Chain A
Amino acid sequence: QVQLVESGGGVVQPGRSLRLSCAASGFTFSSFAMHWVRQAPGKGLEWVALISYDGSKEYFADSVKGRFIISRDNSKNTLSLQMNSLRVEDTAVYFCARSASPVDAVDIWGQGTRVTVSS
């Protein structure tokens, strides 16, 4: 079945880095755009980043631009989010999600991985 499984979350100090991964299965990963969406504790959803099916285009929310890097390895069916210069306000559950294209809605979501930025 179609599945997205995130990993890599944890507790990290402000200013440090963390790398999240998302393993995709059950579909042709290289045909889909992929997103990261996060949700701070008790808050709503926030779109974070998007990468095109072939990795040639990347887009970021202003809140993470210049600090986060999104990438994908289509040979390994894996999506990544490299998070640098982490801030307390980056504390959230991070979901990976797929869409047919950058202008299509997300249709499949992972279960999320929790990131806590705290000293």
Chain B
Amino acid sequence: QTVVTQEPSFSVSPGGTVTLTCGLSSGSVSTSYYPSWYQQTPGQAPRTLISSTNSRSSGVPDRFSGSILGNKAALTITGAQADDESDYYCVLYMGSGIWVFGGGTKLTVL
């Protein structure tokens, strides 16, 4: 069974840049997996940030960007702000209608 991998936690200084990644336990992530990224704060519904690798959702600040870096999908936050402190999830399309989420990354801004 394929596992989608994310860093469990990451920290960034205010104003700094951080790149979170989304990989596969076996194989490489490509645009064919339509990687998407979501932000979630405790007790709230997720918010869609990025779809199809690098398409920013409406209303999402341009400091959030998506890409493929090496064999992983990546979410880069440039100029991190305090309210970026959240859990971040990626999801990959495995084909045949099946989606699999990564375990999430808890981002701390300090």
Contacts and interface: CB of A to CB of B under 8 A. Distances in A.
Contacts of A57: 97
Interface string B81-108: 0000001010101001111111110000
- Residue of B40, B91, B97, B103 contacting most chain A CB atoms (<10 Å): B97
A44 B89 contact: yes
Given A104-B34, A104-B51, A105-B36, A45 B93 contact: no
Given A103-B34, A104-B51, A105-B48, A45 B104 contact: yes
Contacts, number: 62
A67 to B, nearest CB: 16
Q: Which secondary structure dominates where chain A touches chain B?
A: strand
Interface string A92-113: 0001000000111111111110
Question: Looking at chain B's contact residues, is the secondary structure mostly helix, strand, loop, or mixed?
Answer: strand
B100 A107 contact: no
A109 B47 CA distance: 7
Given A62-B1, A106-B48, 12 more contacts: A37-B46, A44-B104, A45-B91, A45-B104, A46-B101, A47-B98, A58-B97, A106-B46, A107-B57, A108-B48, A111-B45, A112-B45
B48 A45 contact: no
Interface in B24-57: 34, 36, 38, 40, 45-48, 50-52, 57
A101 to B, nearest CB: 10
Nearest to B49: A105
Nearest to B51: A105
Contact of B96 (A37, A45, A59, A109): A59
Interface string A28-63: 000000010100000011110010000001110110
Given A103-B34, A105-B36, A107-B51, A44 B57 contact: no
